[in-house]
Chains A and B, each alone.
Chain A
Amino acid sequence: MEQLLLFVLLGLGPGALIAGIALGLVLTYRGSGAINVSAGAMAMFGAYFYYGLREGHLLLPLLYPDIGGPLPLPVAFVVAVAATGALGLLIDFAVFRPLRRQSPLAKLVAGVGVLMTIQAVIVLRFGGQGQSASDVLDTTALHVLGGTVPVNRLELVGIVLLAAVLLAAVYRRSRFGLATRAAQENEAEALLTGLSPQKLSMANSFLAATVCGALGILVAPMTQLDPNTLTIAVVPALGAALIARFTSFPIAALAGIGMGVLRAVTTYCQTQPWFPTADGTAVVGLTDVVYFLVIVAALIWRGKSLPVRGAYVEPRLPPAPAPKRVVRPAVVLTGLCVLALLTFPYDMRQALTNTMIGAIACLSLVVLTGFVGQMSLAQYAFAGVAGLTVSKLAINAGIGFPFGPVLGVLAATALGVLIGIPALRVRGVQLAVLTMAAAVAVQAFGFNNPSWGAGGNGSPVAAPTLFGVNLGPTGSFPINDADQPSPLFGFVCLILLLAVVSLVVGVRRSSLGKRMLAVRSNERAAAAVGISTRTVKLTAFALSAFIVGIAGVLYAYNFGSVDPSRFDIVNTFALIAFAYIGGITTVKGALIAGFMVTEGIASHILDSYLGLPTNYQLLIAGVLLVVTLIMNGSGIALQPPPKFTFVRRLLRRSDDDAPATATTAAAMSMAKVGGK
């Protein structure tokens, strides 16, 4: 019992961080209506900035100038907190302000872009490995309960609670607080009162960033200073903020500390003999499962009562036109791919294969986000489950091709439906939050488990063979198979890509597609005309997980093993970025996105031939994601084509001559529906 209490005391450190991020989330939400998933990344930025100053350097994007020796602790702390505050201002000005009339989901996805950008800046400077952050607070040991606890844990809790109480008082008493509450309730009325919601939003973003930055600096020595740990602490913080209805500061802080204590208690339980084990060691990642469950519960309990921002414009959605001409481009592209697979050198062949698999993964987002307006941050979790199922079935049950992959895809679909079920109660942004927690939980509890996951060195995947022919990347092929991957595997990917494209095009053109768009544009109105929004959303989730499951199986065969890091949530962030940049509402957009995915064709050319490493590409992708969202999220695919009039006329001629068939007319009318 005493030992448990000791664990709890130690857990107060991470708890304070979660609480601080939760305070930041509440502030940003009240100030600008955005659920800022990059709040954890801001804490991480603050911690790294402080680290840089203490090393005698100034941390800037792509630069790390010497400042002539380390700054003393208090100065470094103040400067680093101010720098994080400045970052908050910048993000408010450059990201959330231009997006203020967009849907809450667009704001959330923009947060993903910001997160990616910050993370890329840090990784480019410090790499993915952790640094040892130096202590900021007093580390004197207190002797309590027969053990020792550094006094800083208690100080931290004091600081966070004080911040929460101060913020609550400011919001209750000060004119700034009243004004923020007024602007949150109704922006137009606030304007008529002479208030400036944009300035209020900036002030709140600044406060949020300073709180996150300060806590990041203070807590980094107790957790770990790496690009991921602090960033992902936003997940439990989201849970805490939800419990506080994105409104109450004291509740957010207490719930955040509670989340930290929850982690400590789980860690304590892991030391107990009764704790479930796998392969002789205690099961890992249960905390993240608990966080997920807390978030589900909080959403069901609080979701309906989250304050909505009274903006005075209906957000516009990017159009999702039905594809008109399909057969010709498909034939041309297929021909080009076949030619490329038969002639490209091995590295470009691999890149093309990656592009095709990436395009399949992006198509899963077209269905879910482009057509139905829901967002899943768990796409690679679904993919990983599919891949892992293939691997485990082969190893443990001897089930190989083709039953393994089929079962794998079905497993991904089942998980998709499972996570989609809460979607029946929660919507839009809240659902995105839920899938984010799910992704982290699946990763920590599933993939990282050495027994049923792929912990350690990954779980091997045998090559798929059919009638003795190796269809995988290691197979042989009469032409161009001097090095892996075999063109044959490329053909397998191509066939599946074509199948998925047909599926998505078919869905968009079917009545289901129309219903999906109706749900996207207005759920209530859709329900009012008799559309079962539940069925539509659940179908979309199932379909999306099914498609990304196919991508997962292909990834597994592609790499010959399932490695947890391949199915990390960070990869889902990148996937979302590429899908948006390409154009998340159209099949064409997904294909463009496929070219850009990490290690895809464009990425490979940039990396190997033009000297732009993937980490820079991710930095650019993060920025471009934000830019795309600001331009109403239509992506490259829906941009007006460049005016090479002559060339286009040449290409178009045959189509213009063709008589308009019934199907094209139908497609056109649907395009109008989609365009609305």
Chain B
Amino acid sequence: MTAQPLLQVDALAAGYFGMPVVRGLSLTVGAGEVVALLGPNGAGKSTTLRAISRLQPAMAGTIRFRDEDITSLKPQAVARKGLVHMSDRRGIFHGLSVEEHFRLGDGGKSLDLGTAFAYFPALEPLRHRRAGLLSGGEQQMLGLARALARRPSVLIVDELSLGLAPVIVEQLLPVVRRYATDSQAGVLLVEQHIHLALEIGDRGLVLSHGDLVLEESAEAMRADRQLIMSSYLGEGPQSGKRSAAAG
């Protein structure tokens, strides 16, 4: 871990209609680091990611990206700076062909189709097909290929595994790991497949009802399943103290 994290979130609150869903959330992602953001359904994981990419306003707190306060920037500006958010809609457009996704570019620059196909050779024969006609797995590949081709310095990914067979998830997640290591980028990963995420991740965070209830190294969390279980099931106070102590 480097001294200065690439992404630093401090005391973030975000929610809907004036009601916070996530409160006082602090987290960091360093260069070359993969952080898994875990938690039960409705915990506020997607909300956190949307607040980080500025798709929805932060109600409190600050978000710093590469030493710059981005809390009040527009989402498109944040995206152009190299903080790429691959949402649960996968960042693809059904009406555009595979190839067009790369010509669409990234705030002016065209994307390198070659790199994308290097990550996912399976996309190459599909280059002229409309994204809407791809299978779920192919769409996910396209979304990830495009996100990586944008060469983000921080990539935040919402449920890469959504609707996919575990076999395919096992193929996709290592790609993310490899990218983080090779490009010294930071990755914040929201996942439901806990064990898969912890296998490639460096650290794990567990969010429950909008509070960070556990923050541990991936190794420790893999070793002690009970730790995650209790944090998921909302046996919060104890683990809450733990995380407070850790933080």
- Footprint of B on A, CB under 8 Å? 175, 178-179, 181-182, 184-186, 188-196, 312
Contacts and interface: CB of A to CB of B under 8 A. Distances in A.
Nearest to A192: B85
Nearest to B146: A193
B126 interface: no
Interface in B98-116: 100, 103-107, 110
A178 B110 CA distance: 12
Contact of B104 (A175, A186, A191): A175
23 contacts: A175-B105, A175-B110, A178-B103, A178-B104, A179-B104, A181-B95, A182-B96, A182-B104, A185-B93, A185-B94, A186-B89, A186-B93, A188-B55, A188-B87, A188-B89, A189-B92, A191-B75, A192-B53, A192-B84, A193-B76, A194-B106, A195-B104, A312-B55
Contacts of B91: 189, 192-193
A46 B245 CA distance: 70
Contacts of A194: 76, 79-80, 106-107
Given A193-B79, A194-B107, A182 B55 contact: no
Interface in B32-80: 53, 55, 74-76, 79-80
How many of chain B's residues touch chain A, expressed as a range? 20 to 34
Contacts of B53: 192
A184 B95 CA distance: 10
A196 B95 contact: no
Contacts of A175: 103-105, 110
9 closest residue pairs by CB, A with B: A194-B107, A194-B79, A191-B75, A194-B80, A182-B93, A178-B104, A185-B93, A196-B76, A192-B85
Given A178-B96, A182-B93, A191 B107 contact: no
Contacts of B87: 188-189, 192
Contacts of B75: 191-192
For B55, B76, B79, B86, which residue has the most chain A Cβ atoms within 10 angstroms?
Answer: B76
Interface string B202-222: 000000000000000000000
Contact of A191 (B79, B92, B93, B106): B79
B interface: dominant SS = loop
Nearest to B131: A185
A312 B50 CA distance: 12
Nearest to A191: B75
A193 B89 contact: no
A32 to B, nearest CB: 16
Interface of B: 53, 55, 74-76, 79-80, 84-87, 89, 91-96, 100, 103-107, 110
Contacts of A184: 95
Contacts of A312: 55
Contacts of A181: 93, 95-96
Nearest to A181: B95
Nearest to B110: A175
A188 B89 CA distance: 10
Contacts of A195: 76, 104, 107
A542 to B, nearest CB: 37
Contact of A192 (B79, B100, B104): B79
Nearest to A197: B76
A170 to B, nearest CB: 13
A582 B95 CA distance: 42
A91 to B, nearest CB: 23
A194 B76 CA distance: 4
A312 B54 CA distance: 13
A175 B84 CA distance: 20
Contacts of A196: 74, 76
Given A175-B105, A195-B104, 12 more contacts: A175-B104, A184-B95, A185-B93, A188-B87, A189-B89, A189-B91, A191-B76, A192-B75, A194-B79, A194-B107, A196-B74, A312-B55
B79 A185 contact: no
For B75, B103, B106, which residue has the most chain A Cβ atoms within 10 angstroms?
Answer: B75
A196 B73 CA distance: 13
Nearest to A174: B103
Nearest to A313: B56
A189 B105 CA distance: 13
Nearest to A307: B95
B10 to A, nearest CB: 22
Contacts of B79: 191-194
Nearest to A184: B95
Contacts of A179: 104
Contacts of A186: 89, 93
For A175, A189, A312, which residue has the most chain B Cβ atoms within 10 angstroms?
Answer: A189
B187 to A, nearest CB: 16
Contacts of B104: 175, 178-179, 182, 193, 195
B184 to A, nearest CB: 22
Contacts of B107: 193-195
A188 to B, nearest CB: 6
A487 to B, nearest CB: 53
A184 B94 CA distance: 11
Nearest to A199: B76
Contacts of A190: 93
A186 B75 CA distance: 14
Nearest to B107: A194
